[in-house]
Amino acid sequence: MRTARARLIRALVGLALLAVAVAPGALARPGHGHGHGKHKANGGEQSPLVIGHRGASGYLPEHTLRSYRLAIRLGADYVEPDLVATKDGHLIARHEPNITNTTDVADHPEFADRFKEDVLVDGNPEDGWFASDFTLKEIRTLRAVQTFPERSHKFDGKFKIPTFEEVIKLVQHQSRARHRTIGIYPETKHPTYHEQLGLPLEGRLVAALDKAGWDSAQDPVFIQSFEQSNLQQLNQMTDVRLVQLVDAFDVLPDGTLAYEPPFDRPYDWTVSGDPVLEARTFAFFATDAGLAEISTYADGIGPWKRYIVSTEAVDLNGDGTVGDENGDGAINEADRRLLPPTDLIDRAHEHGLVIHTWTFRNEQSRLASDYGGDPINEYLQFYELGIDGVFSDFPDTAVEAREVFAGG
């Protein structure tokens, strides 16, 4: 089965170069706001959902129409566009406002003078080129690149940067062509940062969804954000489902989570001036009080998977030291051991919330030692724990694991 699937994947990726690309502030409104505490395990949708993380980003450059299309062909139920704003107010699909590592902008001498140093994004200084300094016309001259050095760079410089409207058109076209509902799962990237630039995301996002006919909790849409006030505002603007993302900085050797800026708390809390919010970290969202608070404005929670199953660094090979346990010359997830799962999934459900977790990847270096190098085993663990959805760079693997889980 996997040999045949591997041949299919190679064929689909090969066809990506030949396929025809798809062409290319709202105010709060009365009557909006969610009825919460109604967890339905994704309603009538597939469960667990498979969400193509930035498309099929394990195979093709992320956040491109080709990557989203491939994710759909590989069975994804939803595709995830991260959204940032251009200088002239268009929403485009990029992982970060800083487009240095996701595009070939550095190869464009006409934009050399746009390079900036020490630009603060959520209080963190960054160097590079930023989407908000480019018009959409200028963005259209750039091409996407693979961001992971160990993945294929065969398609670097081949695919354009899509607008949010173009992603919506692709999803709706593919839904009709494939006779199945395919959803969209946009993330508002750094909403406070965009607000400070005078380029707020919320109205533009809701307007695009409204134009597509998506404005209810029954529509195939989830909006996600790491910030809270952004979701609370969206809760008054639209009835589509909302998901509170939950981050952390790293996993300590004993498996506990570390919280350091800018991954310590939602940035809107950091700049809120509210001592209660400033004293919190993302960990608050994983408490019962935090889940109850989320349920007042959102429909789900999207924690990093280490909130559900963490790992610890131990002496697996018995040499008396802790480090490179498998002898491959690197220290990574493959050298760590799983800890017992938490009860976060069950508690989220008790609060009426769906729970979708991230990010699942096939590379051996990103799989804890217990999985034996097989990414299917990681999916199966989370499916058995009752997860409602997974974000995957390799959606075909997530779909295959779901088939195994269902006994198919």
> What would the mean pLDDT of 206-232 be, rounded to a whole number?
98
- Cis before residue 397, ω within 30 degrees of 0? no
- Averaged pLDDT score across all residues of the chain: 92
The tokens of 90 are what? 């268009």
For residue 9, tell me if it sits in a domain: yes
pLDDT-derived band at 405, boundaries 50, 70, 90: very high
Write the burial class of residue 62 (CB in 10 Å: 0-12 exposed, 13-18 middle, 19+ buried). Answer: buried
Domain that holds residue 118: 2-14+50-314+331-405
Active site residue 349: no
278 contacts 337 by C-beta, under 8 angstroms: no
Give the bridge partners for 304, in sequence order: 358
Per-residue pLDDT tens digits for 26-41: 333 344 555 444 444 5
Do the domain assignments include residue 37?
no
Task: Establish if 31 belongs to a structural domain.
Answer: no
pLDDT of residue 43: 58
Q: For the beta carbon of residue 164, count every other beta carbon within 10 angstroms.
A: 23
> pLDDT tens digits for 113-162?
999 999 999 999 999 999 999 999 999 999 999 999 999 999 999 999 99
Is 352 inside any structural domain? yes
Structural domains of the chain, count: 1
Does 394 have pLDDT greater than 80?
Answer: yes
Section 370-381 average pLDDT: 98
Mean pLDDT calculated for residue range 209-214: 98
What pLDDT does 34 receive? 52
The residue-averaged pLDDT of 271-292 equals: 98
User: Average of pLDDT values for 264-276?
Assistant: 98
Using pLDDT thresholds of 50, 70 and 90, give the confidence band for residue 1: very low
Predicted confidence at residue 30, as pLDDT, reads 40
Mean pLDDT over 199-228 rounds to: 98
Q: Which of 36, 63, 90, 95 is flagged as catalytic?
A: 95
What's the CA gap between 108 and 122, in Å, rounded? 27
Residues 6+ away with beta carbon under 8 Å from 292: 351
> What is residue 33's predicted lDDT score, i.e. its pLDDT?
58
Pairing of strands 300-303, 354-360: parallel
Cα gap 208→210, rounded to integer Å: 5
Task: Name the amino acid, one letter, at 274.
Answer: D
Tokens found for residue 143:
């091409």
Decide if pLDDT at 392 tops 60: yes
**DSSP classification of residue 148:** -
Our answer to whether residue 39 is catalytic in this structure is no
At residue 47, φ and ψ (nearest 5 deg) are -145, 125
CATH number at residue 113: 3.20.20.190
SS3 annotation, 84-97? EECCCCCEEECCCC
Comparing 392 with 43, which gets the higher pLDDT?
A: 392
Is 365 within a domain? yes
pLDDT tens-digit series, residues 158-208: 999 999 999 999 999 999 999 999 999 999 999 999 999 999 999 999 999
Q: Go through 365-377 and write b for each residue having 16 or more CB atoms within 10 A of its CB, e for each that does not.
A: ebbbbebeeebbe
Counting residues of the chain whose pLDDT is more than 70, the rounded percentage is: 89
Distance of alpha carbon 84 from the chain centroid:
14
Question: pLDDT exceeding 90 applies to what percent of the chain?
Answer: 88
Among residues 34, 36, 39, 53, which one is catalytic? 53
Q: Is residue 111 part of a domain?
A: yes
Contact assessment for residue 191 and residue 201, using Cβ atoms and an 8 Å cutoff: yes
The residue behind tokens 């603007």 is: 237
Q: What is the mean pLDDT of residues 45-56?
A: 95
Q: What's the token pair of residue 322?
A: 């802790």
Q: Is residue 26 part of a domain?
A: no
| CA 262, 264, 48, 337 torsion-angle sign | positive
Pairing between strand 336-338 and 354-360?
unpaired
